[in-house]
Structure 1
Amino acid sequence: MQRAAARRFWDTRGWIHFHGTGMNNSSRPLNVLWLIDHVCYDGSLHGGGRLFMNLMPQFDPKRVRIFPYFLRASDEVKQVFAAANHPAKTLEIGKYDALAPMKIAALCKQHDIDVMHLFCYAASTFGRMVGAVKGIPTVVHDFDTQIYFPYPLYLRVLDRVLKNQTGLAFAASAMCREYMRDVRAIPDARIQVLYHAIPNSQVQVATQMTREAARQKLGLGEQPVFCAVTKLGPERGNEAMLSAFAEVRKTLPDALLYIVYKPTLYHRLPEGYEAIDWAKDPAQMKARIVEAIESRGLTGSVRMVESLEKPETYYAASDVMLAPFENIRFSSVNLVEGMAYGRPFVATNIGEPAELLERYHCGISVPVGDVAAMSAAMLRIASDPALRADLGHR
């Protein structure tokens, strides 16, 4: 879906020609600059990072040539992309770098760029400035809302000055679309919702890995298995999920819950987390969950797995996925991956997971923090093979 949408709006005879770049319909490929602020700091790629990693190989280089750049990146991220032999390069440009527009303009000249696809705040601000001067069409792509720092006056002003320089905008969710429209002032008619996507290769893995094979690999039998692929920071809803699972085990005493996670390392604490001491320390985050497991009598029935890079086995082995989020900003990408395995899910009725449920009807929505509703939904799906198959098929 992402590849088709991107190609459609990058077509030289369509959107670019309409916006008057002066390009002719030459036989050479379309040259596209991908520019993103960063792709997370701990190596666990967020939506933009996954798109960089997964989508670029899908393009036919005879038609579209992608030139991927990070404004900045941590050593962990650089290692992840280097290990994948990905050509993305780091510019080491800070968000207050006064020379950033000139550096980006030089890239456009170097690669003879026809379109800039700009991800997140600094890239979309600097890039649209260059686009306005050089006459290069720009696409803005956002995955999140403003949570890590206040929306400063200078960004507010620049967003309004540059709004008409936004040829097209992609939002990762309906919530993000509203933010781009109402806060960043991008014209609504230019915004399209483009949910997180997974590569075809991952779908192929899902078709080849059976539930039985995955369970054999994990040493499991036929007991009900729930799975949450998540992190351990605030507002993830893990405590409510554990309480709900404790209720489920009163009916299904052999049930198991896998918490597949990556330690949360904030490069900057989100607003509202400053007073939460344990949010600054991954070891404390894990200790809190371990204590919550023990206090609910779940030791042995909850298995914590520190791995977000290769969760495929856990998707395949599970019966029901869980997303008990208590904040609208958390990504649905792991649920989308679970859907590739035909796994229904129980999710709170906020943010991207709620949008997926409304659109695809592939699970059950429950109120935030409602342990009784969550446990009832978990039981309903786990105890009904026909319902599980129906929801998973959708």
Structure 2
Amino acid sequence: MHAKDSVAFASLGRSIFNFRRDQSMESGAGGERQDALLLGFQSCIEEVLVDLSAAARAEGDGLLSIAWLRRLLDGFLLCHEEFRALLLDRGEAVARPPVDRLVADYYDRAIKALDICNAARDGIEQLRRWRAHLEIVVAALKPAAGGGRGISEGQVRRARKALADLAVLMLDDRDAGSATVSHRNRSFDRSGGSGSSSASSSKTTGRKVSSFRSLSWSVSGSWSAARQLQSIGSNLAAPRGHEVAATAGLAVPVYTMNAVLLFTMLSLVAAIPCQDRGLQVHFAVSRTLPWAPAITYLHERIVESSKKRERKNSAGLLKEILQIERCTQQMAELVQVSNFPMAKGEEEQLRERADELAQICDAMKDGLEPLERQLREIFRRIVRSRTESLNLPAHTAN
């Protein structure tokens, strides 16, 4: 998603949010106002998920691209803010059983999601290191594209070395996604070096030590993204009729937000390099809810993509990662040429791949930083709303 698309989607979100608030205020007091809030929340969820489904079907960016992930996180922030407003409005009911237990259960799952946000942020740093090598390849080969001269042997050597370094780095990151490694590091709230500084790590021969690290102090070397997803999705079941009645309808929005949280975290783990990636989590939502078809379609598309043979060993299902893996493999075969000057057909193929890599680098340069900011914002929003929920009983008593 381009910057203007992100702004447009955020504006749409604010419009939906404001409309729901206005609608609830105009519906009168008591039950009518409460019903308007509940219906408004479900409508907001449906509109966000339908929008994501339409974007996934589009031929442009498509499912699990950087642009689509940014749209997903924008949607999650909007849904979470709508959910937070609903809980604050229904403070007395939220502070009493059985709603208090349902809300506490949601925030327990949300706190577990913070580790996935941290791991995804680390995956973004890994992608920045990839981009640094890709830019070397592009810089080595692009000058020849503007002039009439052919690609020289020196240019090919520089590109070949950068591709070899990238291949080692990608292999290490892929292994980090399939096996746990022992690292502890900083939290979102701690300052530290950027991805660019990581790219300048000391050179070694042979196999490099995996650069993966989780950014949460609470995550040990045995932490697993797959197990964390399973924990978030554990015992997640749609409320039954008596549960809905006993909670004045609040069981449905809590269940809805649980499902949206799980899907968002599942999408991050699927797309971005994470420690011990895996999507083996039960995900099934009640078909009676208006947003169920959209989220089911998206989940099935992601699982289907993960089962494709050529993607099983990928570091992540992010569209740009798959493009990098395909393009660099093709380019690595082309730069093995030993005869110079290169044949015209080989030069054209190499320049086409260099142009494609340049486009991927631009997409990553424009999209990774905003994506990281969104992850930070999700982290802060969850922590803030969790604190509010803990303080809610005291405010209600006053």
Same fold (TM over 0.5): no
| TM-score, with structure 1 as normaliser | 0.27
| TM-score, with structure 2 as normaliser | 0.27
Higher-strand-fraction structure: 1
Task: Please identify the structure whose Cα radius of gyration is greater.
Answer: 2
Higher-helix-fraction structure: 2
Greater relative contact order, per chain length (Cα 8 Å cut-off, separation 6+): 2
